[in-house]
Amino acid sequence: MKALENLLDGLKYQCIIGEPSRVMIQAVEFDSRVANTGTLFVAVKGFSQDGHDYLQSAYDAGCRCFIVDRKVDFQLDDICLVQVADSSEALALVAANYFDEPSKELKLIGITGTNGKTTCATLMYDLFCGLGYKTGLLSTVVNKIGKELVPATHTTPNPVALNALLRDMVNAGCSHCFMEVSSHAIDQNRTFGLYFEGGVFTNISHDHLDYHKTFSAYIKAKKQFFDRLPLASFALVNTDDKNGLIMLQNTSAKRRHYALKTPADYKAKVIENALSGLILDLDGTEFYSRLIGRFNAYNLLAVYAVAMLLNEDKIETLGVLSNLKSVEGRFQYLKTQDGPTTIVDYAHTPDALLNVIDTITAIKKQKSRLITVVGCGGDRDKDKRPVMASIAGAKSDELILTSDNPRSEDPEQILKDMQAGLTSDQLDTTFTILNRREAIKLAVKLADEHDVILIAGKGHEKYQEIKGVKHDFDDYKIASEFTNQMKN
């Protein structure tokens, strides 16, 4: 339980009704359905709901303490009400104060960008565990407190859940935490008030325009993360991406760069890229990794650079890094004797799909065919659907369009949107199969032992969401099942 006046530390407020010094708080909430006696209810305007519309509901449930960011017709003698300029920022600051600012007790590294966030964060977690540290991870796939697994529901949790997880990490003895920072989280101030030891920018491409509306707004959201970094932290960006330097324009943090092609503080050169792995000249040292593909060269370089910026030993870092395996659902490799090579990847943006396909094309045998299974999610950016189909159609020997997570949309309409990106000749030779399981089965049936199957879009996900219901579905598991059946 905390005194309200302590939770307001650092918060710029416009007016207060009541006496914060006399109010004790036992929970911070932004959902009126769980607000009750002893709760501080922060009214936040969300994407589809506005917490200000539920002040009365919270009051009726016993809540007597509120934070709002506009004048409200809610004047009662027995309440304490704080008005601020932005209640989403206030929620983040209050949550940090409630949990005694756990981010200041960790070396917290945030990774943002369109592609590579999950791989970089997970590899950093694995690396620092290998270096002997007790480490935390906040990712799209899973959250970890040391070796304890905590299910992930969002790429970046809400401020209350986020600060609670960070406090649990500190209490468990973690010294480091590596977390994905999504553009939604930055825009919604979920990470506001956290102290980051460093921030990493991987790249940016067409994604989330259903939310941000314009590409410039998407870039601005990413940039805001670096604008907020403190003076003592570092900002590490990929300068092979033309937007890398934009991220650094207004940051107070130490500016550092990594790249394969352009001048940078941390450099790497791909010596060999094969299905057996990568050989890199990494900062002047020849280095082998089990990971595959040029995009993973960028990921490995970013991870290495973070370790160097955190003053780890170079030789020990490279030794641990060379033994790390690929992240689940990120260029996840399946090969059975006498069967095709199957790659499961989360690629769900045009840029990610292009990178994965180009990587496969560069390393597969000349006579091997590429069979691509791909769909697009419902209730998301529709503009990328024909673009992704166009990329897959132009670069695959066989193309199978199928469902991804249609969510509330008609899956047939999603496939029609994708087909719009294909030429008439491509349409004639493309398979369109609504049932994703049947689409994977066909891909395996079409392939011989020298071919490569790419199953793109869902990666690590263990479900398929149709009409609001999540059904068990695992691309890797299903591909393994059919590959073994064909073998037998």
Which run of H or of E encompasses 123?
A: helix 117-130
What total number of domains does the chain contain? 3
Strands (DSSP E) contained in 307-414 are 332-335, 341-345, 370-374, 398-402
Tens-place pLDDT, residues 182-212: 988 898 999 999 999 999 999 987 554 455 4
Together in a domain, 314 and 349:
no
Together in a domain, 215 and 287:
yes
Give the model's pLDDT for residue 396. Answer: 97
- What's the distance, Cα to Cα, between the start and end of the chain in Å? 62
Together in a domain, 233 and 107:
yes
pTM (2 d.p.) = 0.83
Which residue in 238, 194, 254 sits closest to 246, CA to CA? Answer: 238
CB contact set of 35 (below 8 Å; sequence gap of 6+): 29, 41, 57, 58, 61, 62, 63
Together in a domain, 375 and 446:
yes
Give the model's pLDDT for residue 433. Answer: 98
Together in a domain, 455 and 403:
yes
| Domain-located, residue 29 | yes
CB contact set of 325 (below 8 Å; sequence gap of 6+): 290, 291
d(CA 433, CA 153): 29
Together in a domain, 352 and 469:
yes
User: Pick from 75, 96, 117: which residue ends a domain?
Assistant: 96
Tens-place pLDDT, residues 359-375: 999 888 888 999 999 99
| Domain-located, residue 336 | yes
Contact 13, 69 (CB under 8 A): no
Q: Which CATH number do you get for residue 440? A: 3.90.190.20
Tens-place pLDDT, residues 287-315: 999 999 899 999 999 999 999 999 999 99
Which run of H or of E encompasses 80?
A: strand 80-84
DSSP summary character for residue 140: S
The residue range of the domain holding 480 is 332-487
**DSSP one-letter string for 272-321:** EEETTEEEEEETTEEEEES--SHHHHHHHHHHHHHHHHTT--HHHHHHHH
Give the model's pLDDT for residue 140. Answer: 85
Contact 69, 90 (CB under 8 A): yes
Q: Which CATH number do you get for residue 22? A: 3.40.1390.10
Instruction: Kindly indicate the confidence band of residue 218, based on its pLDDT and cuts at 50, 70 and 90.
Output: confident
Give the model's pLDDT for residue 71. Answer: 87
d(CA 471, CA 393): 28
Helical packing angle, 475-487 and 436-446, nearest 10°: 40
Give the model's pLDDT for residue 84. Answer: 95
Together in a domain, 43 and 149:
no
Give the model's pLDDT for residue 48. Answer: 76
Tens-place pLDDT, residues 13-62: 888 988 888 899 999 999 999 999 999 999 999 877 899 999 999 999 99
Give 205-259 as a 3 state SS string: CCCCHHHHCCHHHHHHHHHHHHHCCCCCCEEEEECCCCCHHHHCCCCCCEEEEEE
Contact 81, 18 (CB under 8 A): yes
Together in a domain, 115 and 160:
yes
Helical packing angle, 411-419 and 384-395, nearest 10°: 60
Amino acid (1-letter code) at residue 350:
P
Measured from the Cβ of residue 359, the count of other Cβ atoms closer than 10 Å reads: 20
Instruction: Kindly indicate the confidence band of residue 94, based on its pLDDT and cuts at 50, 70 and 90.
Output: very high
Together in a domain, 309 and 429:
no
d(CA 35, CA 25): 11
Instruction: Kindly indicate the confidence band of residue 333, based on its pLDDT and cuts at 50, 70 and 90.
Output: confident
